[in-house]
Structure 1
Amino acid sequence: MASLSGISEELAEIEGQISDIFRALANGFQKLEKIKDANRQSRQLEDLTDKMRDCKRLIKEFDTEIKEIKFRNDADTNKMLNEKKQSMVKELNSYVAMKKQYATNLENKRVDLFEDPSETSAEDNVLLASNMTNQQLIDHGNRMMDDTDQAIDRAKKVVQETIDVGTETSAALKEQTEQMSRIVNELDSIHFSMKKANKVVRELGRQIASDNCFKTMLFIIVIGIITIIIVKIAKPHNKEISDIPGLAPPVPNRRLLWSRN
């Protein structure tokens, strides 16, 4: 049978983690049998329950990995992987059943602890009452009433403290809610201002680009005019420059032919 490491390193790693949890569960249940205190048994069961929850998650990951590599493996390999998964599920279910049994036994013990002392106390009270005088019964009843009043006062104090804490918590929550609302409004205002500023920046950019184009064209025209003037001064008889309107030399006055005659 092929090893899981030869099939998939991910499967081999998950199997190793599941095996570690199974060993921890076996040791945990052995330790649970030696614990006599109910509270320690309860904490031990909670720890074992967490381990079983982690094991269940890993088995799901194991099944997911099997499905992902199913098409790369042959039929025998897939069968072996499914049998491995079923074996893990079976072993986990056995630990779950053991946990339920221990939890039931622990719950029964707690019920017995709550019931038996009350019954014994009631019987003892009957026996004590039969041996008391009337005055002793009255004094005992007064003490019980005083204890009951004190317990009621303590309960009222606890209730009042709870109400005060609830009121303070409600006020704090209300203040935090109002603060969050203000923050949301400020964020909306900031978002609107940023959008408006972005629009202004785009318009300003377009305007600056237009101004730059106009300035560039004006600069080119001025440079051209200055160049023509310089060339005209340097070469006053250049015919190409003379043909430019406005730069040709003035034409001398000519007399008509008939005026000469």
Structure 2
Amino acid sequence: MDLSAFSEELAEIEGKINDIFRALSNGFQKLEKIKDPNRRSRQLEELTDKMRECKRLIKEFERVLKEEESRNTRDTVKLLNDKKQSMIKELNSYVALKKQQANTLDNKRVDLFDGPSAGDGFGEENVLLASSMTNQQLMDQGNQMMNETDQAIERSKKVVEDTVNVGAETAAALKAQTEQMSRVVNELDSIHFSIKKASQLVKEIGRQVATDRCIMGMLFLIVVGVITIIIVKIVNPHNKNIRDIPGLAPPANRRLLWVPNNN
């Protein structure tokens, strides 16, 4: 039912009440998942405060309804009263749920100083209710719990310290690996430079070898040519072509160093 058609003030109050009902529903669902008694207690207190606010708003709704009763018809007043009763009924359901959760929480608080459960490997003879414990026993039990808490804190500190040490060692290892990778990169650059210089040197040597081969080839051809001319001269001394070669042809008029005596 849309109350804005009857009164904007009533519609506004109804909207706030519905918001609280949604918050209560979500809050009790969340409460079922909380295992820690202290957190459950705080959550229950918050829900109780919301129920008080809801009760105040319902009273405000009833006050405005009475003020506007004379301006509304009998049917309208009946509908608004039914709406009020519906909100009261829903609030009472949350109040009953709150009492149930509170009783459960009180039962858990009674067992606060109980010994370990049988599932932890201890028998029921070690279970001692706080209501049957003397002040000295309560103090001893509290001291024992404090010692266990201190031991747990020390273990947590040890875990944190070990984690920090592992982190420092990991950072040092990463730094060493980074430096090693830098050295490897530098060595690769040096190798690349050496390979480049070696390639240039091989090219220069190849050019020198090619030049030497050309010179050797020319010398070989000259030697072969000279040897060929000598052989041809010996075999065919009357060859005019050979005579025309300077240095190989005999002189036309050769003087004899010794003239024989006719007498």
TM-score, with length taken from structure 1: 0.50
Unmatched 5+ stretches in structure 1: 1-109, 255-261
> In structure 2, what is the Cα distance between the partners aligned to 1:247 and 1:155?
113
> Is 2:106 the partner of 1:123?
yes
How do 1:61-210 residues align onto structure 2 when only pairs under 5 Å count?
114-116=33-35, 118=37, 119=40, 123-128=106-111, 131=131, 132-210=133-211
Instruction: Please give the secondary structure, in 2, of the residue aligned with 1:181.
Output: helix
Q: How many residues align?
A: 146
> In structure 1, what is the Cα distance between the partners aligned to 2:32 and 2:251?
132
> In structure 2, what is the Cα distance between the partners aligned to 1:230 and 1:158?
104
Larger Rg: 2
> In structure 1, what is the Cα distance between the partners aligned to 2:106 and 2:245?
135
- The Cα of 1:178 is off from its aligned counterpart by 1.5
Instruction: Please give the secondary structure, in 2, of the residue aligned with 1:237.
Output: coil
> In structure 2, what is the Cα distance between the partners aligned to 1:115 and 1:173?
42
Distance verdict in 2 for CA 1:124–1:153, change over 3 Å:
farther
- The Cα of 1:205 is off from its aligned counterpart by 0.5
Taking only aligned residues, the RMSD between alpha carbons, in angstroms, comes to 2.6
> In structure 2, what is the Cα distance between the partners aligned to 1:180 and 1:230?
73
> Is 2:236 the partner of 1:235?
yes
Equivalent residue for 1:28? none
Distance verdict in 2 for CA 1:157–1:174, change over 3 Å:
same
| Structure with greater proportional helix content | 1
Instruction: Please give the secondary structure, in 2, of the residue aligned with 1:212.
Output: helix
> In structure 1, what is the Cα distance between the partners aligned to 2:246 and 2:170?
91
Unmatched 5+ stretches in structure 2: 1-28, 41-100, 113-129, 256-263
> In structure 2, what is the Cα distance between the partners aligned to 1:252 and 1:189?
77
Partner amino acid, structure 1, of 2:246? P
> In structure 2, what is the Cα distance between the partners aligned to 1:252 and 1:111?
141
Distance verdict in 2 for CA 1:253–1:116, change over 3 Å:
closer
> In structure 2, what is the Cα distance between the partners aligned to 1:208 and 1:174?
51
- The Cα of 1:117 is off from its aligned counterpart by 5.8
Equivalent residue for 1:245? 246
Equivalent residue for 2:97? none
Distance verdict in 2 for CA 1:216–1:209, change over 3 Å:
same
> In structure 1, what is the Cα distance between the partners aligned to 2:179 and 2:165?
21
- The Cα of 1:217 is off from its aligned counterpart by 0.9
- The Cα of 1:186 is off from its aligned counterpart by 0.9
Distance verdict in 2 for CA 1:236–1:219, change over 3 Å:
same
Distance verdict in 2 for CA 1:112–1:228, change over 3 Å:
farther
Identity of aligned residues (%): 59
> In structure 2, what is the Cα distance between the partners aligned to 1:143 and 1:158?
22
> In structure 2, what is the Cα distance between the partners aligned to 1:163 and 1:116?
31
- The Cα of 1:214 is off from its aligned counterpart by 0.7
Question: For residues 211-230 of structure 1, what are the alpha-carbon distances to aligned partners after superposition, in whole Å with 9 as ceiling and x for unaligned?
Answer: 01110111011000100011
Greater relative contact order (CA < 8 Å, ≥ 6 in sequence): 1
Distance verdict in 2 for CA 1:203–1:253, change over 3 Å:
same
Distance verdict in 2 for CA 1:250–1:113, change over 3 Å:
farther
Question: For residues 231-250 of structure 1, what are the alpha-carbon distances to aligned partners after superposition, in whole Å with 9 as ceiling and x for unaligned?
Answer: 01111110011111221211
Question: For residues 118-145 of structure 1, what are the alpha-carbon distances to aligned partners after superposition, in whole Å with 9 as ceiling and x for unaligned?
Answer: 4488534533476243223212211221
